[in-house]
Structure 1
């Protein structure tokens, strides 16, 4: 079994990390490290054709993201990080599921700059929170189109002007279908490229 298949097998059934026990986390982190050592794209920030797209979260150690699942009556749905290299934009989209007609959405817009051959600095700009049906949400691509058109959303849509809302991510593995990031807060993210990703 190659290292990529080993990692995908290790995170299968762990629900993005929510169901991972301590031993699971240790084994998964080891599999991640071994795959990073075989990164086929040593300068990922110079490969926009690979980096761009809609990336769906498979696994993370981020307490902030996994904590969304602890909201009463709601569960964490799909989480996407959509990268648009043509205008250096990032869209983090978290779907919240639960009671019928009360499915929610958290969307954070950011811009990124290339800091090195594998690091992106990220500055968060806008946050949107609401019910999917009130936002007219259908898919990440459709939501991003609305944002690009300058559409405003209710009930919560605000600019992020706090300079503390900045960070960076290191792209430690990147191929046509899989990406691994390590963030400035020590979290690790494993994502797979969605088939509906726009082509550049």
Structure 2
């Protein structure tokens, strides 16, 4: 997906090592090249993960070029659209319109491909959304699905919030009917929780009859793929929905991050799939990595502990310099800069020894030193040109660091520093 990348000139700070950090870029990722790295040892570790590919499931999901443009636009977005930048929203809408112009299955409501359980990948959220709709599209921490079953004695469209495999789900059902080749009419009439630890359903207390027109509406399917795996729908409240039956592996990782559960397990699963598929000698890739999720154990440093869970970025430069920058609060940043040296076939020695609290143009030095080993495990990249002067390299990488038996995980997306110069 093409994306605008802008950067403001950095202020000159006290230490020259603090020079060169830039404003947060807007970017996303596209798949073309895969490069797999060796499986790490089972030592307690600091793991930095910026993408996840389950090769087995990847082979099961295929898209046309136009469909892939939409999938790529969605991959860089968290929260099913809530956290999307204006540029990302523009890219998604452009991809949606391109598919709608192709039409896909001509009569989607008459096709058996529309039936089944669909996962909600993206939605716009107009202020006019009904209370029932907001119950689902406003939930970022759980997976959201829609079930469509029209060829039964009791046609239904249901919205589902899945809390987890261990807990259960909330299902709100609507009686449905087909109006024409694209439109489904519906009226919500019942809802219940299904908990794994209970043998019965728990009613969800919504007075559907009292909601009147708020409990009914229509849903137009403006695109249904020939594979039956991708669907675009628009609702009577002006909402656009993008849904999939099977998701692309990186989408599954971001979905896992959104729920905050199972990320470590997802990483271990990825490594186990790819432990024998190393291609070439892994290298620490130059670039700027934006963290999307982190989980880190306590260390000996109060400052590092205070920064745990905060979002930031890692910057790797060709000159052997590496930097971590974390937003703290009220415009303050924690920055620590160091060096990396290749120490083995697959590992790097990292020394971080130049730290500071930064506020505006001023930096307050902090005594802090940290040493650890970094091992790249997996890497992929695409180079894309928006125009002759705008060359963008977008990266995903998985790497593991070992430091005093501590365990941490970082998840994020990356863009090359060359795109920011």
Q: TM-score, normalised by structure 1?
A: 0.74
Q: Where in structure 2 are the equivalents of 1:1-200 lying within 5 Å?
A: 2-15=65-78, 16-47=80-111, 49-62=112-125, 64=134, 65-69=136-140, 75=141, 77-87=142-152, 88-96=155-163, 105-129=169-193, 132-134=195-197, 153-154=201-202, 156=204, 160-161=208-209, 162-164=211-213, 165-175=215-225, 176-194=228-246
After superposition, the C-alpha distances for 1:89-131 in whole angstroms (9 at most, x for unaligned) are 112101246xxx8x5733210111111111111111112247x
Q: 1:86, 1:135 → 2: CA distance?
A: 30
Deviation string 1:59-82 (CA, Å, 9 cap, x unpaired) is 11136234233xxxxx2x211101
State the structure with more CA Rg. Answer: 2
Task: Please tell me whether the aligned partners of residues 150 and 177 of structure 2 are also in contact (alpha carbons under 8 angstroms).
Answer: no
Q: Output the CA distance in 1 between the equivalents of 2:207 and 2:104.
A: 37
Q: Contact (CA 8 Å) 1:134, 1:154: kept in 2 or not?
A: no
1 CA distance for matches of 2:137 and 2:87? 18
| Inter-partner Cα distance in structure 2 for 1:84 and 1:5 | 27
CA drift at 1:7: 0.5
Distance 1:194 1:82, change over 3 A: farther
**Structure 2: gaps (5+ residues):** 1-63, 127-133, 248-421
1:115/1:135 CA distance change after superposition, 3 Å: farther
2:237 partner SS: coil
Partners in 2 of 1:191 and 1:13 — Cα distance? 16
Deviation at 1:158, TM superposition (A): 5.4
Gap regions ≥5 residues in structure 1: 70-74, 137-151, 196-200
Cα 1:192–1:168 change in 2 (3 A) is same
Structure 1 pair 21–154 and aligned structure 2 pair: CA distance change class (3 A): same
* Structure 1: distance between partners of 2:205 and 2:109: 30
Q: Is contact 1:83–1:89 with CA below 8 Å preserved after alignment?
A: yes
Mapped to 1, the partners of 2:90 and 2:103 lie a distance apart of 20
SS at match of 2:81: coil
Cα drift, residue 154 of structure 1: 2.3
Count of aligned pairs between the two proteins: 168
Which residue pairs with 1:140 in the alignment? none
Structure with greater proportional helix content? 1
Shift, 1:43, TM fit: 1.4
What is the DSSP-based 3-state SS (H/G/I as helix, E as strand, rest coil) of the residue aligned with 2:102? coil
